[in-house]
């Protein structure tokens, strides 16, 4: 049986997913994200727009010891339409610099099932 998870995203991330440029979500590897398995479902909801939702199916999981390892292995354009430095700054803003620097990072590959 597949599990369903919910994550909140910004409108900008919603646009990247819906226009097909983003197909990997990165998160801190923590209690919640460690439970995600291939074929699970993730429901992304836009922070400032409850009507905007995306349902995706997990197609791959990539776990790295730190953000640099992830960014050296994955094409950043599959994650965000940002430079490496701006992406790292954004992650610091979202999760906190200390947590990003001391946590493992998970790259969640997905395919889009539904867009609302």
Domain range summary for the chain, segments of one domain joined by +: 4-115
Q: Which fold has domain 4-115?
A: 2.30.130
Give every CB contact of residue 116 below 8 A, 6+ residues apart in sequence.
51, 52, 53, 54
List, for residues 34-79, the tens digit of each pLDDT value.
999 999 999 999 998 989 999 999 999 999 999 999 999 999 999 9
Q: What percent of the chain has pLDDT over 90?
A: 93
Surface-to-core class of residue 67, CB atoms within 10 Å of its CB (0-12 exposed, 13-18 middle, 19+ buried): buried
Confidence of residue 3 (pLDDT cuts 50, 70, 90): very high
């Amino acid at each position: 049986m597949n599990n369903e998870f919910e994550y909140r995203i910004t409108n900008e991330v919603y646009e990247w997913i819906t226009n097909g440029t983003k197909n990997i979500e990165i998160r801190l590897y923590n209690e919640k994200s460690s439970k995600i398995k291939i074929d699970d479902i993730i429901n992304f909801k836009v922070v400032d727009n409850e009507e905007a939702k995306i349902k995706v199916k997990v197609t791959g999981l990539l776990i790295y010891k730190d953000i640099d390892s992830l960014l050296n292995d994955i094409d950043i354009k599959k994650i965000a339409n940002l430079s490496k430095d701006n992406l790292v700054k954004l992650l610091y803003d979202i999760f906190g610099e200390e947590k990003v620097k001391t946590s493992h990072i998970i790259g969640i590959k997905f395919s889009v099932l539904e867009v609302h």
